[in-house]
Amino acid sequence: MNRVIHPIEEESYRRLRARLDTSHFPPLTRAVVERVIHSAADLEYADDLVMDEGELEKAHVALHAGAPVVVDVEMVGAGITRRETVCRLKDGVAGPGLTRSAHGIRLAYEQVGPGALWVIGNAPTALEELLTLDAAPALVIGLPVGFVGAVESKAALRMSGLPAVSNVSEKGGSAVASAALNALLYHPVSQSKETL
C-alpha cells in the first residue's frame, strides 16, 4: 500500500521518538506501539500493550492477503482508513444475558467465519462474546475501554492463547484499536522483518 505521509505526522513521530526510545521493539510491535501512542498521545502504552511479534507477522500476512476485518462499533471502523470492515452492531439485539454488542459479534462471526482480524475497542462484552466462539482469528485486537469489564476481558483474551494485541489497564478505545490495525495495514509487506 502506497501511502503519502503528511509532514505533521512525520513531525509527530519524530517528537514521539525523541521522548521514547522504541528502537528495541521488533518491527511490527514497534509499528503498533508507535501508532497507538500517536493516536492517544499517551507514552504509557509502551509499557501497557501486550503482543507477540510472531503473531503479528502471521496477522500481517493474513491482513494483506485479504482476510476480513471485523469491528465491534462503527467508530472503530471509521478509524480504519484504507480497508472495508464488517460491523453488525446495528443488527444486534440485547436479550437476557446478552448485550447488543455481544449479539453483533455473533452476527459478524456468522457472516465472516474463521480467519478474520477482530478489532474491539469499545465493548468488553463484545470481546467476551468473541472468546466464546470458535472464531479461529488471524488476530484479535482487544482494546476495549472502561472501568467495568475492560481489564477482565483483556486478561481473558491473553489467557485464551489466541493471537492478540491487548493492554493491561482500563485504557483503550476506538481510536487506539483502529490505530493498532492501521499499523499492520500501513506496514509494507516487503519490510515485515525490517525496522521502519
- Report, as residue numbers or ranges, the catalytic residues: 38
| Phi and psi angles of residue 142, each rounded to the nearest 5 degrees, phi first | -110, 95
Q: What is the C-alpha separation between 43 and 50, in angstroms, rounded? A: 14
Are 147 and 119 in contact by the 8 Å Cβ rule? The answer is no
Q: Which residues pair with 118 in a beta bridge?
A: 70, 140
For residue 52, give the 3-state DSSP assignment.
Answer: coil
Q: What is the C-alpha separation between 41 and 86, in angstroms, rounded? A: 28
| Phi and psi angles of residue 120, each rounded to the nearest 5 degrees, phi first | -120, 115
Q: Indicate the angle between helix axes 27-40 and 174-186, nearest 10 degrees.
A: 140
The radius of gyration of the chain's CA atoms, rounded to the nearest angstrom, is 16
For residue 54, give the 3-state DSSP assignment.
Answer: helix
* Side-chain half-sphere exposure of 134, counting CA atoms within 13 A: 0
